[in-house]
């Protein structure tokens, strides 16, 4: 499981995170339309909780678990973090 996010960025319609232990994980933005269409400023204003990432101003949450989803189905996990 992800414990701490060291870095978060957006590139090629994906959200990327780098964990404190150096793992780089990503998720397609199509699963998160509020975040996908947010401004750069809105995207930069995130916080981390025990369960995932949160953007208060756009009311978006992404669980750490979601970074393990298969790209075509957010309801199926294919590996554990």
DSSP 8-state secondary structure symbol assigned to residue 58: T
Q: Which residues contact 50 (CB under 8 A, 6 or more apart)?
A: none
- Reported as a pLDDT band with limits 50, 70 and 90, residue 65 is confident
Please state, in angstroms and as integers, the Cα–Cα distance from residue 67 to each residue in 24, 41, 57, following that order: 10, 23, 22
- Reported as a pLDDT band with limits 50, 70 and 90, residue 78 is very low
Alpha-carbon distance 51 to 15, whole Å?
17
Q: What is the mean pLDDT of residues 22-50?
A: 93
- Reported as a pLDDT band with limits 50, 70 and 90, residue 16 is very high
Q: What is the mean pLDDT of residues 22-33?
A: 90
35, pLDDT greater than 50: yes
Domains observed in the chain:
5-77 (3.30.2020.40)
């Amino acid at each position: 499981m992800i414990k701490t996010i060291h870095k978060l960025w957006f590139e090629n319609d994906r959200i990327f995170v780098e964990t404190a232990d150096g793992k780089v994980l990503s998720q397609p933005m199509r699963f998160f339309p509020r975040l996908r269409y947010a401004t750069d400023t809105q995207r930069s204003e995130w916080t981390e909780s025990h369960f995932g990432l949160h953007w208060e101003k756009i009311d978006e949450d992404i669980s750490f678990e979601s970074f393990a989803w298969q790209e075509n189905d957010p309801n199926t996990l294919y590996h554990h973090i």
